[in-house]
């Protein structure tokens, strides 16, 4: 009966699709032998779970992670959720735990929701560290991040430098609960404390983390607040949206617009003038530091500090072509 054969053919096609996909795209990184042999020169298997696979910040951190892994003879595993959502990141974390890596590096998408799954991983004997965002548990062995509070403050100070005449300023947030963005907001407000020439407007919340949403929020603010002189966009995606909105409104060059992170589009915008400053967290370096710290911890070094923030770099047209700045750009 032909319909039965067609049905069988379709199921076989489905199976073949999965086989083909897994065959031709397996990350070269997973060796069949489990974590670490007992020879001298132990090979560790370290996993990295970014917040999402959707942001140049994370692809740059991944590159730094994989480069450092290769240099240290570490087998890297990189798996991440498609969207910056805890409900997508948790199943990925749990599947990675099944692979029994020697250590896990994770950038948590939600400080509360990821606490229990991370503690479960640690309970199974896998040490966990965070990069970027924080998580509400003390079971991690270290947390490396570009200090978002410092980044917010340095960025705010740069905006004051660029708009010395005073006026209204606004911070483009994503949603409260993402610790790094909350910290940038705190630092931003610290920079403007006591600065009577400036009025800090209520934050804009681009909760879907989409450039289109950020652009429409910024456009609305530009129309309703003619005294707006500075905008602080808190990540790559909101920076793209803010730059677009400023350009469309024809206010390029008249408003100081700072974009956090230094992705390729943001650098282009900086050169073109629709962004007037960037703050780089140097994710490439963070990825490398993650491998260095994980290997140190696995080799028995228990003196690693629990919190390792470092100062981000403010990038403007003036220092864009410095060699030091060039390494801090995201690819």
Partner 1 sequence: MTDTLTASPRPATEGAAPSRTRRVATTMTGNWVFLALVILIVFFSVKAGGTFFDLGNFRNVLFNASGTMLLAVGTAFLIIGGQLDLSIGSVLVFSEVVGAKVIIAVSGPAAKSYPDATLGIALGIVVSIGLGAAWGVLNGVLVTRVKIPSFIITLGSLGMALGLAQVITKGTDVTGMPPKMITSIGIARFLSLPVPVWIAAAVAVVAGLVLAKTRFGRYTYAIGSNAEAARRSGIKVARHIVILFTMMGALAGLAGVLDVARYTTTQVSGHSSDNLVAIAAVIIGGASLFGGRGTIFGTAVGVLIPAVLNNGLVIINVQPFWQTVAIGAILILAVAMDNIKRSQQTRAS
State which H helix or E strand residue 171 sits in.
strand 167-173
Minimum CB distance to partner 1, residue 90 (Å): 7
Q: Does 224 bind partner 1 (CB under 8 A)?
A: no
State which H helix or E strand residue 295 sits in.
helix 283-298
Total residues interacting with partner 1, rule: CB under 8 A: 49
- Say which residues have a Cβ less than 8 Å from residue 120's Cβ, sequence separation at least 6: 94, 97
Q: Does 220 bind partner 1 (CB under 8 A)?
A: no
CB nearer partner 1, residue 14 or residue 272: 14
> Contact with partner 1 (CB under 8 A): which of 70, 71, 73, 95?
95
> Contact with partner 1 (CB under 8 A): which of 46, 96, 169, 270?
96
Sketch the per residue contact string, 49 through 88, with partner 1: x for CB under 8 A, - otherwise.
Answer: ----x-----------------------x-xxxx--xxx-
Q: Report residue 101 CA to chain centroid gap.
A: 22
Minimum CB distance to partner 1, residue 270 (Å): 28
User: Tokens 């209520």, residue?
Assistant: 202
Minimum CB distance to partner 1, residue 30 (Å): 4
Q: Are 142 and 305 in contact (CB under 8 A)?
A: yes
Among 209, 206, 204, smallest CA distance to 168 is for 204
DSSP 70-105: HHTT-EEEE---SSS-HHHHHHHHHHHHHT--SEEE
Give the residues lining the site for partner 1 (CB under 8 A): 3-4, 6-8, 10-11, 13-15, 17-19, 21-22, 25-27, 29-30, 53, 77, 79-82, 85-87, 90-92, 94-96, 98-100, 110, 112-113, 115-116, 175-177, 205, 207-208
């Amino acid at each position: 009966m032909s319909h039965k054969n067609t049905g069988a053919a379709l199921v076989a096609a489905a199976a073949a699709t999965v086989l083909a996909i897994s065959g031709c795209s397996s990350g070269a990184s997973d060796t069949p032998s489990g974590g670490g042999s007992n020879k001298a020169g132990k090979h560790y298997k370290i996993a990295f779970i970014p917040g999402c696979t959707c942001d140049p910040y994370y692809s740059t951190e991944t590159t730094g992670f994989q480069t450092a892994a290769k240099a240290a003879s570490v087998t890297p595993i990189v798996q991440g959720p498609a969207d910056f959502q805890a409900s997508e990141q948790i199943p990925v974390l749990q599947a990675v735990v099944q692979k029994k890596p020697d250590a896990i590096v994770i950038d948590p998408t939600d400080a509360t929701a990821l606490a229990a799954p991370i503690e479960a991983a640690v309970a199974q004997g896998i040490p966990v560290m965070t990069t970027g965002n924080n998580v509400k548990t003390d079971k991690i062995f270290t947390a490396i991040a570009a200090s978002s509070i410092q980044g917010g403050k340095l960025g705010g100070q740069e905006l004051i430098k660029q708009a010395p005449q005073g006026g209204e300023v606004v911070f483009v947030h994503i949603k409260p609960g993402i610790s790094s963005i909350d910290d940038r907001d705190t630092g931003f407000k610290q920079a403007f404390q006591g600065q009577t020439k400036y009025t800090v407007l209520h934050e804009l919340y681009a909760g879907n983390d989409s450039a289109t949403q950020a652009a429409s929020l910024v456009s609305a603010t530009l129309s309703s607040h003619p005294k707006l002189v500075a905008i602080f966009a808190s990540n790559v995606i909101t920076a793209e949206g803010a730059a677009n909105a400023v350009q469309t409104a024809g206010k390029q060059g008249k408003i100081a617009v700072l974009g956090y992170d230094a992705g390729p589009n943001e650098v282009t915008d900086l050169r073109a003038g629709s962004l007037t400053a960037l703050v780089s967290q140097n994710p490439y370096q963070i990825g490398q530091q993650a491998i260095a710290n994980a290997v140190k911890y696995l080799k028995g070094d228990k003196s690693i500090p629990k919190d390792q923030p470092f100062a981000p770099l403010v990038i403007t047209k003036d220092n864009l072509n410095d060699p030091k700045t060039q390494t801090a750009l995201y690819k």
